[in-house]
Structure 1
């Protein structure tokens, strides 16, 4: 790890879905990009075939043999961020899924400590549950799912003071006014593990709902007479959504449909578990045995249990199967998730004044290095 003051890109994707520029020098100082200019040769600067805005993964449960639910500590967040960098991810929201009672408070404390310690790559927190629908638990323990209580609302409101908080809830299972209150406090509220109707999603959006978690998965579906969560999110002109482009969670035709209907709103997530960039071939998830078969994680019934995919693979998959260009796929891994967090003026572009967070690859889209706020981490 070091802090170079220049990076040379033979092809630079500046962001926003724009096609690349050739032979560009990116100048860095104090963790920020200070200039981007044309250059004939790299000189003594590190040089890469492709440089793009650093990837953001807003839904990652674990990596490098560490699962955030099992070890909600600042050290664990650092290990997960390190594992995510293997796939080109510069910044993560460590994701804590449904657990008993108020166990999620440990995750809030861990991310707060990680942010205070400036652990590289830790951007904020994603709480996925326990405030979900018992009708759509997915792999989450149904017995721990419950509505938000007053003390939960206060805990999440306080967490926003530490950094960005994305909260996945089932809107139809919460009391009236909860979403509006959370949104006013700055919480980024997403619908997920939800059986809501389209009308309920529209009402939640009016209160401040910002998006949806893993579009199509663990939510009510689009039908002829009821659009469900999936249809309502695509129909909306404002709601964001993460999607898992691993070839297992969502049919490629649905991914391409969502990309076509949601330009600038659909972004990539991995939903990765501890097996990513790790050695484990299985683990116990709150009493359920999860095994890795190829690149698919399932329980004994065959139900998907998170994912075993990195962000650069999702980018490759989008460009190959999602009906988008490589530039657009890269934007789905960087600028769009940044915008969903309201960080579009800091991350997601390679431009003077933006944070110096970059994903550096070869022409085969193999990750060679990741820069995080000016610090470069090489792969291999």
Structure 2
């Protein structure tokens, strides 16, 4: 028996529609139709007329949420708890992110994420390994002693991982520094199905461009944990700007990147190549004011998550807030801001065939937004998973 959602404006991922309804059946979108075409006998839910129904958000960089940190507890339960917490913020699919750590814990995290991905409607879409093959010079909050270069055991394990995740429709994303991994290794990883992203890097623009030609697909929190653009040392940021095919993830929270840098990025890059990430940490979705990251105290203050000496440690933001920031502070049109949180990241990791749009055959993963673009209701697989109390 189909279910119908009507009454709200609908953003399909391609266009805004008035006076239409979404027909759901079997956890997927069956059709988007005018009221006259609503199936007879369907269960009809009328949504508030001032709301907007959009594709559920996809976040490819979530370290933690709801008081849970994936590095701290690299378990299936932790991955599921993070996904559950982020549903309250409109995110229906995410990659739990495991930052630079020792090899044993990294494998534990991969196996845990694999099990979580295998669960229907878990919202876990795979795993993001942020490190350990990164630059000591641009480590940020990553523990330097865990940073290393890939060895044969690493490569055997990592190149087998995408096939294992693909059984459940999952993806493996890896952030690495191009100057720390040779071209042959990049090609081997990319050919195996690992989605490669440049980050925590001090690479030259030339080396970064070579890496893009060797299988690196995009950039992790562009501008952050990278050298700034210099007149004779343009660095990875300029490579990202120049290469039309390169994807750029950004943290749009008003803290991590100056608004003018984001405006420049959006002006230069082809539409569709810039997407939003949160880099969220355990405080998101909670009132806590501090947490521990690999033995260090991280403070939540002034809209920032930072060590006592002021080093940023992830972000205190969700994708709905990032969408609002893009619209209100950067002048991004509503439709493109929503795509930056759904269709574009889904396309970056290769799950856009069934996520990021409200279209026939796509998953019924949806978010209903209030007029102020806060979350009213979230659906995963056509089932209500979170609902605002007022």
How many angstroms does 1:10 deviate by? 2.1
Alpha-carbon separation, structure 1, partners of 2:290 and 2:7: 39
Contact (CA 8 Å) 1:23, 1:41: kept in 2 or not?
no
How many angstroms does 1:218 deviate by? 0.2
How many angstroms does 1:9 deviate by? 4.7
The aligned residue for residue 137 of structure 2 is 135
Contact (CA 8 Å) 2:121, 2:380: kept in 1 or not?
no
Contact (CA 8 Å) 1:56, 1:92: kept in 2 or not?
yes
Question: What does 1:166-205 align with in structure 2 at a 5 Å threshold?
Answer: 166-205=173-212
Answer yes or no: is 1:359 the counterpart of 2:357.
no
1:175-204 CA-to-partner distances (Å, cap 9, x unmatched) read 331110011001000000000111111111
The aligned residue for residue 329 of structure 2 is 321
Contact (CA 8 Å) 2:5, 2:44: kept in 1 or not?
no
Question: What does 1:131-170 align with in structure 2 at a 5 Å threshold?
Answer: 131-161=133-163, 162=165, 163-170=170-177
- Of the three residues 1, 5, 9, the one matched with 2:3 is 5
Answer yes or no: is 1:120 the counterpart of 2:135.
no
Contact (CA 8 Å) 1:81, 1:91: kept in 2 or not?
yes
The aligned residue for residue 37 of structure 1 is 33
Contact (CA 8 Å) 1:215, 1:241: kept in 2 or not?
yes
Give the TM-score, by structure 2 length: 0.93
The aligned residue for residue 272 of structure 1 is 280
Cα gap change, 1:325 to 1:349, in 2 (>3 Å): same
The aligned residue for residue 368 of structure 1 is 376
The aligned residue for residue 93 of structure 1 is 95
Q: What secondary structure is seen at the aligned counterpart in 2 of 1:349?
A: coil
Question: What does 1:192-231 align with in structure 2 at a 5 Å threshold?
Answer: 192-231=199-238
Cα gap change, 1:253 to 1:175, in 2 (>3 Å): same
Give the TM-score, by structure 1 length: 0.95
Contact (CA 8 Å) 1:221, 1:231: kept in 2 or not?
no
Alpha-carbon separation, structure 1, partners of 2:107 and 2:46: 42
- Of the three residues 52, 67, 70, the one matched with 1:68 is 70
Answer yes or no: is 1:285 the counterpart of 2:285.
no
How many angstroms does 1:47 deviate by? 1.0
Alpha-carbon separation, structure 2, partners of 1:310 and 1:202: 31
The aligned residue for residue 83 of structure 1 is 85
The aligned residue for residue 239 of structure 1 is 246
Count of paired positions: 376
Alpha-carbon separation, structure 1, partners of 2:178 and 2:124: 27
Q: Which moved more, 1:6-15 or 1:125-134?
A: 6-15
- Of the three residues 12, 16, 21, the one matched with 2:17 is 21
Alpha-carbon separation, structure 2, partners of 1:229 and 1:288: 29
Q: Give structure 1 stretches of 5+ with no counterpart.
A: none
Question: What does 1:300-319 align with in structure 2 at a 5 Å threshold?
Answer: 300-319=308-327
Q: What secondary structure is seen at the aligned counterpart in 2 of 1:135?
A: coil
1:349-376 CA-to-partner distances (Å, cap 9, x unmatched) read 1111111111111111110111122222
The aligned residue for residue 358 of structure 2 is 350
Alpha-carbon separation, structure 2, partners of 1:348 and 1:119: 15
Q: Give the alignment's Cα RMSD to 1 decimal.
A: 1.7
1:254-274 CA-to-partner distances (Å, cap 9, x unmatched) read 111111222210100000100
Alpha-carbon separation, structure 1, partners of 2:6 and 2:147: 49
How many angstroms does 1:325 deviate by? 0.3
Alpha-carbon separation, structure 2, partners of 1:119 and 1:363: 27
Q: What secondary structure is seen at the aligned counterpart in 2 of 1:45?
A: strand
Q: What secondary structure is seen at the aligned counterpart in 2 of 1:177?
A: helix
